[in-house]
Amino acid sequence: MLKQFNDYMSVKDMLDLSGIPPTRLLYYEDAYVKEFEAKVIKVLKTENRETGVILDETAFYPGGGGQPSDIGLMEGNTMQAKVVRLRRKGEIVIHYVDEVFGEINEGNHVRGVVNWERRYKLMRIHTSAHLMSQAIRQALSKPVEIVGSGMDLEKARLDFTHAGSTRELFPQIEAVANNVVKENRTVKIRLMPRNEAEEYVKKFHESLKTLPPQVSEVRIVEIEGWHACACGGTHVKSTGEIDEIRLLSRSSKGKGIERIEFTVQKP
Ligand SMILES: [Zn+2]
């Protein structure tokens, strides 16, 4: 029984985080915070000799919703370290650091510096993925269901229900998408009670079915009048910041699922 239990729990999951207050998530309040000051709440030494730092607040995005986590720097009066990855466990964000010069001590104040070039590209790609969900529906003239998505620094992908190739429709999909980019629509983010959110996203052919049942308040990201869905990621303020969307490739994932890949670029 115990062995079976351990099989399902990684070492990291056994970190004792009891008594640690929730991390204030600055990236939710303002996705454009690039640098911030924070207090070191806890320094964790993991079994594989990594150092994890918990701060009272953070602008580092810990990953989720298909968007990779940030990287960057952590600096104090007598220390400097690279933030190489992050992890969110419940309401607490753990910053894993490497190449630590000096010492990180609980109670110290540090400055966090997000690798902004990387993060801003991911914000543009993430917002473009939302925009594309509706562009595909409009170009195909049917409310396809998006069944998967993901992104990295180079590109985003969307998997959706569609039998046959979309190759011939690429010019139309791109035209619809880039028209919305040019319209420079505002990206609005707000919290909504779950039942209200459920009704709201329906208008945009989206649902909350992948959201855990215990979530009662939902963060809705809306490209004004174009598309809205539940999302915990970081986004640009308006679609004009995307610059231009370019389709890269398509493939069939089988069982009537089509995948397209696309990227953002300067026109
Ligand atoms: Zn999203």
Domain boundaries, the chain: 2-114, 119-265
Inter-residue contact 77 to 85 (CB < 8 Å):
no
Distance, CA 55 to ligand 1 centroid (Å)?
A: 25
In whole angstroms, give the CA distance from residue 253 to residue 75.
45
- Judge whether residue 56 has pLDDT over 50: yes
Number of H helices, E strands in the chain: 5, 15
Nearest one of 225, 258, 3, 46 to 131, comparing CA atoms? 225
pLDDT for the residue 202? 96
> In the structure encoding, which two tokens stand for residue 184, read together?
């420079």
Reported CATH class of domain 2-114: mainly beta
101 C-alpha vs ligand 1 centroid, how far in Å?
A: 36
Average pLDDT over residues 236-263: 97
Per-residue pLDDT for 47 more than 90? no
144-150 average pLDDT score: 93
Ligand 1 center to 126 CA (angstroms): 6
Ligand 1 centroid from CA 234, angstroms: 8
Tokens 């139309």 -> residue: 172
pTM higher than 0.95, yes or no? no
Give the distance (Å) from ligand 1 centre to CA of residue 208.
12
Q: What pLDDT is stored for residue 5 in this prediction?
A: 38
Q: Separation of 235 CA from ligand 1 center, angstroms?
A: 8
Same fold, 2-114 and 119-265: no
Q: Which CATH number fits domain 119-265: 1.10.760.10, 3.30.980.10, 1.10.10.1100, 3.30.1360.150?
A: 3.30.980.10
DSSP strand pairing (24-25 vs 57-58)? parallel
- Look-up of token digits 């919703």: 65
Nearest to 66 by CA among 128, 136, 157: 157
Cα of 191 to ligand 1 centre, how many Å? 14
CA distance 81 to 105: 13
Is 193's pLDDT higher than 80? yes
CA of 195 relative to ligand 1 center, distance in Å: 19
What's the one-letter identity of residue 29? E
Measured CA to CA, the distance from residue 231 to residue 61 in angstroms comes to 13
Q: What is the Å distance from ligand 1's center to 4 Cα? A: 35
